[in-house]
Structure 1
């Protein structure tokens, strides 16, 4: 058993290297070699130009380059030439900038994915590349729903080519695969399946590919609509796939071995598979130090629990369990509720409804007006409700804490799910007290244990329990300790980086020792 483990470890430490393909090559051999190196990239364009009995191959990835420059400054001079082209003449005579020569297919492909155009004269010893990349970085637009303090601020747009461009700029690897699908019988929409071939689990890729191929619909409006068609079940309020508008969140998921999906016309991207705990992770957790990141992640978990438990517990305690309230607080609570004519459950539902109305109004109105309505409306309505005797001042604090806690989840979909499950718990608390709250929480946990995301358990790594994956979900450890990818994802290469057994760094004055 020990010997087998050692062999497996060595296989990860020494990945197999591919044999480099050198020029000269025939035109068809060149095309085939580039396609194989770039995993049959769907947007890879080949154009052949025949000049003076010469065959010149022009190759580029359509969404990474400026097409007008290729047509006017590269293809036109090639076609109009009355002399034979040589590699040296290509490098200096085209009005497209200085070219660079490369003598292997691997070097050429590394430039292709950075936004270069490759020009190769058949049977020559090297190819020329020209950088004509698009400047699509979305630097002027920031994410609206997934705000972060530390890290890249770029968000996806409605253009699929722009989204592919910014993803390629973040994941510059020839192992990145982008498979194209057309979904919609009447109004076809292009969908891209994105993953790293050297990392992503083949079963997950095949499962997602099969779900996209089997989808028979008239049209596809958005990525959020696609999720509802391909998720494992629709009998839940919890999101089973992660929808993100952040480029770095999407790229981070792909680099961990997950699968991404981009939809033309949608400013959001899909990441799968995911877990319940993954919706409380943020890319800021990577940028912060491990101790700070762990504290914030634990704070989000605690806030989630407070959000859907605090108001039901208040209803249960005030209705059935006065004995658990401290005496001093009980006097204050009794005075606060003495003028309220409604039972606690109606009082709580009334205030929860007001909060939801304010939240929806603030989201639908223009940004500046919406912020004013949310702040002023909450203060005015809350104070007016207390003065009118419709609610108690203690409940105002409880509702405010519950509402604030629901905003701490990085995912808006998970925050919305937590808001929804709060209402059944309030009803159970009003009917049978804390027993009802406990019963509701047990049903909720059972429901979460039964869910799956792309065929994988939704509650990983708590159930099934995987101890080594806890640092990838519940908390974060230092990079020097956490050097493995998630075991639950079953990636092809579970080791993220090799630990270097080096001595403790010396101070400057100790280097002479």
Structure 2
């Protein structure tokens, strides 16, 4: 009996320790985005770490009437016409004011808030308010609403290449200030930092490095910043060039940074502890570090129930393997491994290839190259003409090829399905990689059959295991093995079970939210 009691007491101690540990995690999460400043001066000094933050004196009296704001969040017209014009051209002297509340009588702007609450000042400034002080460091401030809520919300900035049925459809544009405005609207935290620099000896392109200070690992920030500062290039036209210039390995067909035009995807990367880079003149942002499986997930996976989202993700991954291997397996079976064909299927194959004068490899290459030509021609032509060319050209050429005995019906179906499966990849750069990989596998299958396919798979996986993204292994969570990261890799678990950030980003804060509170349903007791 004594032994049993001791066992119970030890288990009770362990249980209490576990509850205490989880409670401490919850407290950490609750205070994660709380302001760390103790005065208005500290708040503004922390905001100055972002390149889009501006602090200036708007009166003729030097050092008085200090305006502080995020330039990417305000309407420049309101600032110049209703604030600067009143004080600069109106002849008002700052020493005429004895209290900041007196500016209400001179500014033609309604709803000016006078407050010394640090929480209110920090939140309003992140929403596009201008903080006005009589002197730098004053506790009481005037908050002037100069937010431009319609900036960037235009009809022509939808996500064309990453379309989603469910969720927001706001995409990035070619203006860096507009893009920063769109992201700051969703990142209402003073920990969101923008570091701006210039890249290109001839173009002098503005480039912005984005990260969340209390989440992102400083090593990733410093690595990306160092690579951007050491770029020797003359003219930077798009972030796709940055992707190639800062990549860990430039001799690989696989993209090592996630390229996206979606605002919500950039924000999701930042919240997960990644860094993002945007360039003026480019409607795309790149994020890293990333893993291979990140290229097969979409924001839609998180907007749908987790069972549906996981099913669609598995379909995409299956589509990748089918697209790469389907044609090569057909060639290897018909060239070297006839014994693998079932008897019921042997007759239709012989009948479809009875009049085809070419070996399977030439037959497959003819169809693959034809499809690539149709795809390239369709993407270079205007939208309506390109769609018509793709549909009509595919039907006419496919039917004519079969009737002319240049190819078989079965291979035509396989190649069409393989091309269709490649379109399931949501990231365009990875889709191009999958299109390219089909051709080496076709050549290997024509030379050595099934052995050639196995050799190609081994070589591909060895190459993937050697790749890194900002120093992070590309094949995580498979290699090195990380069991905890499988919660959001091949499948996506429900939100209460997916509260942690991925370990490969090595974030400062491991938890996005409280796992226990996310799973509770706090209904009203009747």
Short-chain TM bin: over 0.9
Residue in structure 2 matched with residue 382 of structure 1 by the alignment: 398
CA–CA distance in structure 2, aligned partners of residues 121 and 241 of structure 1: 46
1:300 aligns with 2:313: no
CA–CA distance in structure 2, aligned partners of residues 350 and 430 of structure 1: 14
Residue in structure 2 matched with residue 442 of structure 1 by the alignment: 458
Deviates more, 1:117-126 or 1:260-269: 117-126
- Counting only pairs closer than 5 Å after superposition, residues 79-118 of structure 1 correspond to structure 2 as 79=88, 80-82=90-92, 84-85=96-97, 86-118=99-131
In the alignment, which of 151, 157, 163 is matched to residue 136 of structure 1?
151
Query: Cα distance 1:5–1:458, how it changes in 2: closer, same or farther (>3 A)?
Result: farther
CA–CA distance in structure 2, aligned partners of residues 483 and 295 of structure 1: 20
1:121 aligns with 2:113: no
CA–CA distance in structure 2, aligned partners of residues 177 and 425 of structure 1: 45
Deviates more, 1:256-265 or 1:136-145: 136-145
CA–CA distance in structure 2, aligned partners of residues 92 and 271 of structure 1: 47
Q: For 2:132, what is the secondary structure of its paired residue?
A: strand
CA–CA distance in structure 2, aligned partners of residues 139 and 162 of structure 1: 11
- Counting only pairs closer than 5 Å after superposition, residues 346-425 of structure 1 correspond to structure 2 as 346-425=362-441
1:64 aligns with 2:62: no
TM-score by length of 1: 0.92
Kept in 2, the 8 Å contact 1:232–1:240? The answer is yes
Deviates more, 1:303-312 or 1:464-473: 464-473
1:285 aligns with 2:294: no
Instruction: Name the count of aligned residue pairs.
Output: 501
Q: CA RMSD in A?
A: 2.3
CA–CA distance in structure 2, aligned partners of residues 207 and 145 of structure 1: 29
Kept in 2, the 8 Å contact 1:35–1:41? The answer is no
CA–CA distance in structure 1, aligned partners of residues 290 and 138 of structure 2: 48
CA–CA distance in structure 2, aligned partners of residues 504 and 249 of structure 1: 27
Query: Cα distance 1:483–1:52, how it changes in 2: closer, same or farther (>3 A)?
Result: closer
Residue in structure 2 matched with residue 21 of structure 1 by the alignment: 38
1:201 aligns with 2:217: yes
Query: Cα distance 1:383–1:437, how it changes in 2: closer, same or farther (>3 A)?
Result: same
Residue in structure 1 matched with residue 263 of structure 2 by the alignment: 247
Query: Cα distance 1:505–1:184, how it changes in 2: closer, same or farther (>3 A)?
Result: closer
Q: Please state how far the C-alpha of 1:20 moved relative to its aligned partner.
A: 4.4
Residue in structure 2 matched with residue 265 of structure 1 by the alignment: 281
Residue in structure 1 matched with residue 193 of structure 2 by the alignment: 177
Q: For 2:514, what is the secondary structure of its paired residue?
A: coil
Query: Cα distance 1:215–1:6, how it changes in 2: closer, same or farther (>3 A)?
Result: farther
Q: For 1:500, what is the secondary structure of its paired residue?
A: helix
Query: Cα distance 1:267–1:125, how it changes in 2: closer, same or farther (>3 A)?
Result: closer
Q: For 2:339, what is the secondary structure of its paired residue?
A: helix
TM-score by length of 2: 0.90
1:274 aligns with 2:290: yes
> Is there any run of 5+ residues in structure 2 with no aligned partner, and where?
1-13
1:314 aligns with 2:323: no
Kept in 1, the 8 Å contact 2:25–2:514? The answer is no
Q: Please state how far the C-alpha of 1:124 moved relative to its aligned partner.
A: 5.3
Q: Please state how far the C-alpha of 1:82 moved relative to its aligned partner.
A: 4.6
CA displacement 1:429-469 (0-9 Å, x = unmatched):
01111111111111111111111111000000011010110
Q: For 2:503, what is the secondary structure of its paired residue?
A: coil
Deviates more, 1:235-244 or 1:215-224: 215-224
CA displacement 1:350-404 (0-9 Å, x = unmatched):
0000000000010000001100000000000000000001001111100011000
CA–CA distance in structure 2, aligned partners of residues 39 and 22 of structure 1: 15
Query: Cα distance 1:501–1:209, how it changes in 2: closer, same or farther (>3 A)?
Result: closer
CA–CA distance in structure 2, aligned partners of residues 82 and 290 of structure 1: 60
Query: Cα distance 1:111–1:502, how it changes in 2: closer, same or farther (>3 A)?
Result: closer
Q: Please state how far the C-alpha of 1:76 moved relative to its aligned partner.
A: 2.0
CA–CA distance in structure 2, aligned partners of residues 195 and 209 of structure 1: 11
Deviates more, 1:137-146 or 1:311-320: 137-146
CA–CA distance in structure 1, aligned partners of residues 389 and 478 of structure 2: 41
In the alignment, which of 331, 335, 356 is matched to residue 340 of structure 1?
356
Query: Cα distance 1:42–1:502, how it changes in 2: closer, same or farther (>3 A)?
Result: closer
Query: Cα distance 1:35–1:218, how it changes in 2: closer, same or farther (>3 A)?
Result: farther
Q: Please state how far the C-alpha of 1:208 moved relative to its aligned partner.
A: 0.6
Kept in 2, the 8 Å contact 1:142–1:155? The answer is yes
Q: Please state how far the C-alpha of 1:44 moved relative to its aligned partner.
A: 1.7
Kept in 1, the 8 Å contact 2:101–2:114? The answer is no
Kept in 1, the 8 Å contact 2:113–2:142? The answer is yes
CA–CA distance in structure 2, aligned partners of residues 502 and 64 of structure 1: 31
Q: Please state how far the C-alpha of 1:147 moved relative to its aligned partner.
A: 1.2
Q: Please state how far the C-alpha of 1:500 moved relative to its aligned partner.
A: 2.9
> Is there any run of 5+ residues in structure 1 with no aligned partner, and where?
24-29
CA–CA distance in structure 1, aligned partners of residues 421 and 92 of structure 2: 72
CA–CA distance in structure 2, aligned partners of residues 207 and 277 of structure 1: 23
